[in-house]
Structure 1
Amino acid sequence: MTVENGAVSARYRSLKDLTCEDLRTRIVDGRLAPGERLVERDLAEQLEVSRIVVREAIAHLVSEGLAVTLPRRGAQVAPLDVDDVSNLFDIRVALDALAARTAAKRRTDDDLAALDRALRAAGEATAAGDHDRAAQLNADFHDLLMDAAHNPQLAVLHRSISGQVRRVFRITQDVAPEQLHHEHEDLLAAVRAGDSRAAARAATHHVESARAGALERLRALRA
C-alpha cells in the first residue's frame, strides 16, 4: 500500500467512524426513534457522505444492538422491547458487580478523583433539574467504574453494550434521579473503602433498582 492509498484508507475509516458516532448519538438521544427506518439515501444526503459509508455505519450499529435489519424492510432503529431491556439489565448486573468488586481492589487515586468529579457533576445536574446532562454524567460514572477495574477484557464487554445502556438511561433519566445519585454515592464509598463485597452488593442493588424503574417507564409509555 502506498502512503497516498494509506492516507485515503485512514480518511475513509475516520469518515465511517464519524458517521457511526453521529448515528449512534441520534439513536441514543432519541432523534432517531425506536422502529424508525434508516434509509441510506436520506442519511447519506443529511450527513454528506456516500451511501457505502452509511451502509457500513449501520452494519456496525446492528452489531451494537442499536439497529436491526428486517427482510424486505431494510434497516431500522432497534425497538425498545421490555424483554430485551430486561435482558440487557441481566448483563449489566453481571458486568457492573464484577467491575465494582474489582475496582475496590485495583482503583487508584486518579480513578477515585475521576469518579468523584463525575458524581459531583451529576449531583449538580440532578439538583438543577437538567436530566439530559445528569443522564450523560451518570453513564460516564459507569464508564469510569469500568476503567477503575483495570480489566481490558471487561472494558471491551462493557463498551459492546454501552450504546444500548445510554439509550435506556436517556429514556428513564427522570425516574427517581435523587435515589440513583445516592446509590452511586454508596457504590463509590464501597469502592473507596476497598470493600469488594460491599461494592458488588451496591452495584447489584443499583442496577436492579434501575431495571425496575426502566421497565416501569417502558410499560407506561406503551400503555
Structure 2
Amino acid sequence: MGAKGWIIRQNDSMDVTSSKGALAYRELRRRIISGELAPGSRLSQYELADELQMSITPLREGIRQLASEDWLKMDTYRDVRVASVDAGEARELLEVRLLLEPEATRLAAGRRTGAEVSVMEKAAEQLLPVTRSWGEEAISAHRAFHRSIYVASHNHVLIRMLDGLWDKADRYRYVGLQLPAGNEPRGLDLQQHYDILRLVVEGHGEEAADLVRTHIAHSLGAAVTQTLENLPQAQPLDEVSA
C-alpha cells in the first residue's frame, strides 16, 4: 500500500522520532483496527518493513509507540504480537463511551454552528446500517457521523478522549461484523442517528443526550460486548463467527 492509503489523523499522540516511524505507527494501527492484523497474531517485522519500504529502525519506532498505547504486546523486538480483544476491555470501552458521548452531545446541542450542522447533515446522508453486509463502509460512515456531533461540543479535551475511545472501539466493531451480532438488522439503530441529529439541531440537549445513551446501550458495540462476555473462556472467536 502506498502513502495515499495511510490513514493520517492530526490528533494522533505520537512520540516517534522520524517521519517514517510515524508512517509505520499509523499504518500498523490502521491494520490492527481493521483486523488486517489479527488479534494475538505475531508481527513479521522484516516483511512489514519491506511492505512499507523502510528499514527496520523506523518500523520499530512505530512498534514501540503502539506497545505503549496497548495496541501491541512486546516481550522483545523479536516477539511482538497484536493485543488480543477481550470482554473486559470491550466492557470498559462501552462504559466510558456511555459516560462521555452523551455529555458531548448535550454540549453540541447548545454550541453547534451553522457550518457544523451542515457537516452533520452531510454525514447523516452517508449512513448505512453497521452490519456484515455493509462492512467497512458502514463503520466509516457511522464514525464520521458521531464525530460530527461530538466535535460540535467545542470541548477539545473531550474530543481528544472520544477520538481515542473510538479508535479502540472500532476494533471491536470490526470483530463484531464476524460474530452473530454482525448480521442482525439494525433499522432502529439507523433511525436513531437521524433523531439524534434533529434534537441537536433543534437545541434539545438533554433529550439528545438521553437518546445517545439508549443508542449506545443497544449498539453493535454493546452486542459485541455481550457476545464476548458470554463466550466460554477457552473458545476462540472464529468458532462463533457466522
The two structures have a TM-score, normalised by structure 2, of 0.77
AA matched with 1:65:
D
Q: Confirm or deny that 1:212 pairs with 2:229.
A: no
Q: Which runs of 5+ in 2 are unaligned?
A: 1-16, 232-236
Whole-Å separation in 1 of the counterparts to 2:168 and 2:33:
8
Residue matched to 2:127:
122
Q: Which runs of 5+ in 1 are unaligned?
A: 1-11
Deviations 1:22-72 (A, max 9, x none): 111211221100001124323212212122211121222234432222479
Q: CA deviation at 1:102?
A: 0.8
Q: CA deviation at 1:73?
A: 7.0
State the SS of the aligned residue for 2:80.
strand
Percent of aligned pairs with the same residue?
27
Q: CA deviation at 1:84?
A: 0.9
AA matched with 1:31:
E
Q: In the TM superposition, what are the counterparts of 1:97-176 in structure 2 within 5 Å?
A: 97-123=102-128, 129-173=133-177, 174=182, 175-176=184-185
Whole-Å separation in 1 of the counterparts to 2:49 and 2:77:
20
Structure 2 vs 1, CA of residues 56 and 179 (structure 1 numbering), >3 Å: closer, same or farther?
A: farther
Whole-Å separation in 2 of the counterparts to 1:194 and 1:47:
47
- Within the candidate set 197, 202, 209, 1:200 is matched to 209
Are the equivalent residues in 2 in contact too, given 1:139–1:169 (CA < 8 A)? no
Whole-Å separation in 2 of the counterparts to 1:63 and 1:96:
25
Residue matched to 1:49:
54
AA matched with 1:49:
M
Are the equivalent residues in 2 in contact too, given 1:28–1:170 (CA < 8 A)? yes
Residue matched to 2:92:
87
Structure 2 vs 1, CA of residues 186 and 64 (structure 1 numbering), >3 Å: closer, same or farther?
A: farther
Q: In the TM superposition, what are the counterparts of 1:7-46 in structure 2 within 5 Å?
A: 13-46=18-51
Whole-Å separation in 2 of the counterparts to 1:116 and 1:67:
37
AA matched with 1:48:
Q
Are the equivalent residues in 2 in contact too, given 1:27–1:66 (CA < 8 A)? yes
State the SS of the aligned residue for 2:126.
helix
Residue matched to 1:5:
none
Are the equivalent residues in 2 in contact too, given 1:66–1:163 (CA < 8 A)? no
Count of residues in correspondence between the two structures:
211
AA matched with 1:208:
A
Q: Which has the higher helix share?
A: 1
Q: CA deviation at 1:158?
A: 1.7
AA matched with 2:160:
V
Whole-Å separation in 2 of the counterparts to 1:92 and 1:192:
22
Q: CA deviation at 1:177?
A: 3.3
The two structures have a TM-score, normalised by structure 1, of 0.83
Are the equivalent residues in 1 in contact too, given 2:130–2:142 (CA < 8 A)? no
